[in-house]
Amino acid sequence: MKKRKDDKKREDNRVLRSIAGSLEEAFSDDEPDEFNDDDVIFVDVPQKTRKGQGKKVFFFVCGLLIIFFTIIGIVSSSIYIANMASDIANNTALKNEFELYLYPLVATDPPTFEDSTGIPNSTLINAAISKILLTGDISNYEVDTGITYIPELDVETNAASLFGGSVEITHQTVGSVMERATYYPEKKAYGISTTNRTANYVPKVTEISNVGETYTLTVDYYPLTASIAGLEQHVASAKQMKYVVIKSAGDRKTVTSISFGEGSPFADISSNASSVDSSR
């Protein structure tokens, strides 16, 4: 009986020592022998550091781009405002508007006149046909063997849009061999060879002034020249003319007179002839 108690006591002591050893090992600061400092890999800290540095680089690049595009925007806006101010000061838009309007008329190189009553009949017809061919739509006109037929009513309408509604046209054949407009009374139309119709000059409005609706334009005549790639051409104005145009409400324009400009070689001749006429 006593032996059994001793065995039980020894067994209990063994269990207690085992538990005590386990607790001591659990709370010990020493690391197990199987782990070394070299075996431990610290991953979290370097990853966070790299992420932080990447964000800094990203925001730095974004900041540089924002500054760069802001500078470009400021420069572009400054140039745009400067060009706009220059255009307003030079009446660029108005000059372009008059150049487009005068283009078909200048293309025919019309003679001078002081009012609508002095416009030659051939000038009325040539200018009207030029306006139709250069700035109009001829797709609906009758075409036969290379000849386009323009109704006389359209010629009258376009002449009135240039010189006013008071002008009257006597329909007839006009123009040189290369630019002839043949009148066909039976068709009440003009036969035009469109392949031979070219502009003699193109206009450049250099000066503009007005009193109310009456505008005085200084117009330089520039000849059409062939453009050769790589060759810079300096083309001078062939002559300079003065146009007086009435620009009324609704953007309606009327050419009331054409005279030689100060830059024209015929200006002095014209002024001398006027002096002789007045002395008489």
pLDDT, tens digit, for every residue of 157-184? 999 999 999 999 999 999 887 788 999 9
In angstroms, the CA 126 to CA 181 distance is: 8
Q: Is 165 helix (H, G, I), strand (E, B) or coil?
A: coil
Rounded alpha-carbon distances, angstroms, from residue 174 to 122, 182, 183, 199: 6, 7, 8, 16
Q: Is 103 helix (H, G, I), strand (E, B) or coil?
A: helix
Question: Which tops the pLDDT comparison, 37 or 81?
Answer: 81
* Residue 273 pLDDT greater than 70, yes or no: no
In angstroms, the CA 61 to CA 124 distance is: 68
User: What strands lie across the sheet with 239-248, from one edge to the other?
Assistant: 201-211, 214-223, 239-248, 252-260
Mean pLDDT of 98-107: 94
Q: How confident is the model at residue 27 (pLDDT cuts 50, 70, 90)?
A: low
The amino acid at residue 131 is K
DSSP state of 179: T
Q: Which of 3-12, 41-50, 81-90, 187-196 reaches the highest mean pLDDT?
A: 187-196
Structure tokens, 133: 């061919």
DSSP state of 110: P
Tell me what the pLDDT averaged over the chain comes to. 78
The percent of residues in the chain predicted with pLDDT above 70, rounded, is 65
Q: How confident is the model at residue 48 (pLDDT cuts 50, 70, 90)?
A: low
E strand residue ranges, the chain: 142-144, 147-151, 181-184, 189-192, 201-211, 214-223, 239-248, 252-260
Its pTM stands at: 0.62
Domain range list for the chain: 119-196, 199-227+235-272
Q: How confident is the model at residue 280 (pLDDT cuts 50, 70, 90)?
A: very low
Q: Which residues contact 159 (CB under 8 A, 6 or more apart)?
A: 124, 125, 127, 128, 167, 169
CATH number of 199-227+235-272: 3.10.450
The per-residue pLDDT for range 201-257, each reduced to its tens digit, is 999 999 999 999 999 999 999 987 654 455 555 578 889 999 999 998 877 999 999
Q: Which residues contact 103 (CB under 8 A, 6 or more apart)?
A: 134, 135, 199, 202, 203
How many C-beta neighbours within 10 Å does residue 163 have? 22
Q: What is the pLDDT of residue 198?
A: 73
The per-residue pLDDT for range 124-157, each reduced to its tens digit, is 999 999 999 998 889 999 999 889 999 999 999 9
Q: How confident is the model at residue 267 (pLDDT cuts 50, 70, 90)?
A: low
